[in-house]
Amino acid sequence: VNLPDQDHFPDETVLLFDQVLLKNTKIKKWIDRFKFRIHLKSGEKLKSLAEYSRVLKIVSEMAIPKSTKLTFVSLGGGSVGDFSGFLASTYLRGRRLIHIPSTWLSAMDSAHGGKTALNLNGIKNQIGTFHPAHEVWICQNLLISQPPERLRECFGEAVKMALLGDSKLFNEFEKQKLKTNLVWKHLPKIIDLKYKIITKDPHEINGERRLLNLGHTLGHVYESLLGWPHGISVLMGIRFSAHWSFHTGLLPKKDWIRICQVISNFDFDDKFISQARNVSASSAKKHLMRDKKIIGHDEIDFIFISKIGNAIRKKVKFSDLLDELERQRKE
């Protein structure tokens, strides 16, 4: 579908949007129709307590009825969505939220599942709530307007979903390079795969949902230390996990080779592989210690791959993870 008509939203609607989208005249026109709107600068800096309090102040000073109909519409990528979701879930103890994701990554991943997040002290997603959107609009005209680098940034999450539960989808990624048409075609399937996992564990209590963290343990380290986009960090985190899974004998060699092949299929620059080697165990340690998957003080829940289409969660010693990091750097 295309961007929804304005009369779809109640009068008490606040649009929180990525200011980058103003460059597109059609989208700008749509944005300008909202009486209450706040432009945001996307990125990890947006997901901060400082921005949160700045924007909350603007909202509270708006001449808008604070009724239960009050609706926040988030138009943007994952950073805008995480931020707006947190704001919507805490303002007046929670108001309605509608996501209109504008990046491939947010359309296939972050707009679904209800996780909201802010960063703290340079560590990702340390503050957050569960606040599923009342509606998520997947708008073709908005998504296809993205430049190619946005496509590259969703590879990580797309490959992750295929590895977690759909070997046929993985085959598709193997056959051809990721293109806009291919992502658009498979978007419903990828979204369904995410919902299949989260409905088993909506609030991350029994651990099933943790499978979605495949590639994210090292991914978040790369994102923080190397400043890579989230999706690329996750892809390299998946590579780390696949390599470790293969090394321990869990993942058959042929699957390890296929995973490497898919990563390089995406025009994946060797530059990322060599930059990842610069991350030493000692520099990664500080970030890993704050990982939410940590258990006690010396263990962590890690997601391994047992075959294409199946991942497993295992407790590992923190020191083993750091040793593996050093081993892979030297290999």
Ligand X SMILES: NC(=O)c1ccc[n+]([C@@H]2O[C@H](COP(=O)([O-])OP(=O)(O)OC[C@H]3O[C@@H](n4cnc5c(N)ncnc54)[C@H](O)[C@@H]3O)[C@@H](O)[C@H]2O)c1
Distance CA 59, CA 316 (A): 45
- Pick 227 or 249: Cβ nearer ligand X: 227
Smallest gap, in angstroms, from Cβ of residue 118 to ligand X?
A: 10
φ/ψ (deg, to 5) at 311: -120, 155
Question: 69-90: buried (b, 16+ CB within 10 Å) or exposed (e) per residue?
Answer: ebbbbbbbbbbbbbbbbbbbbb
Instruction: Please identify, among the stretches 1-9, 77-85, 182-190, 272-280, the one whose residues bind ligand X according to the rule CB under 6 A.
Output: 77-85
Instruction: Please identify, among the stretches 73-81, 244-252, 261-269, 290-298, the one whose residues bind ligand X according to the rule CB under 6 A.
Output: 73-81
Instruction: Please identify, among the stretches 98-106, 162-170, 253-261, 317-325, the one whose residues bind ligand X according to the rule CB under 6 A.
Output: 98-106
Specify the 3-state DSSP secondary structure of 61.
Answer: helix
Which positions from 29 through 58 interact with ligand X, judged by CB under 6 A? 42-44
Smallest gap, in angstroms, from Cβ of residue 281 to ligand X?
A: 24
Which positions from 210 through 249 interact with ligand X, judged by CB under 6 A? 229-230
Task: Provide CB contacts within 8 A for 213, sequence distance 6+.
Answer: 293, 301, 303
Task: Provide CB contacts within 8 A for 139, sequence distance 6+.
Answer: 1, 2, 3, 4, 100
Given candidates 9, 14, 16, 18, which one binds ligand X under the rule CB under 6 A?
A: 18
Nearest to 87 by CA among 123, 49, 125, 41: 49
- Pick 209 or 258: Cβ nearer ligand X: 209
Smallest gap, in angstroms, from Cβ of residue 323 to ligand X?
A: 27
Distance CA 216, CA 211 (A): 10
Instruction: Please identify, among the stretches 140-148, 265-273, 274-282, 323-331, the one whose residues bind ligand X according to the rule CB under 6 A.
Output: 140-148
Under the binding rule (CB under 6 A), the answer on residue 74 touching ligand X is no
Which positions from 296 through 325 interact with ligand X, judged by CB under 6 A? none
Given candidates 14, 16, 31, 82, which one binds ligand X under the rule CB under 6 A?
A: 82
Under the binding rule (CB under 6 A), the answer on residue 102 touching ligand X is yes
Specify the 3-state DSSP secondary structure of 26.
Answer: helix
Under the binding rule (CB under 6 A), the answer on residue 20 touching ligand X is yes
Smallest gap, in angstroms, from Cβ of residue 6 to ligand X?
A: 19
Size of the site for ligand X (CB under 6 A): 31
- 229 token code pair: 């986009």
Instruction: Please identify, among the stretches 90-98, 111-119, 288-296, 317-325, the one whose residues bind ligand X according to the rule CB under 6 A.
Output: 111-119
Under the binding rule (CB under 6 A), the answer on residue 109 touching ligand X is yes
Smallest gap, in angstroms, from Cβ of residue 252 to ligand X?
A: 29
* Residue 189: its H or E element: helix 180-198
Amino acid in the structure at residue 176:
Q
Given candidates 106, 217, 224, 233, which one binds ligand X under the rule CB under 6 A?
A: 106
Q: Using DSSP, how many helices (H) and how many strands (E) does the chain show?
A: 14, 10
Task: Provide CB contacts within 8 A for 264, sequence distance 6+.
Answer: none
Q: Judge contact between 73 and 100, C-beta under 8 A.
A: yes
What residues line the site for ligand X (CB under 6 A)? 18, 20-21, 42-44, 76-80, 82, 102-103, 105-106, 109-110, 113, 115, 117, 124-125, 142, 145-147, 150, 153, 229-230
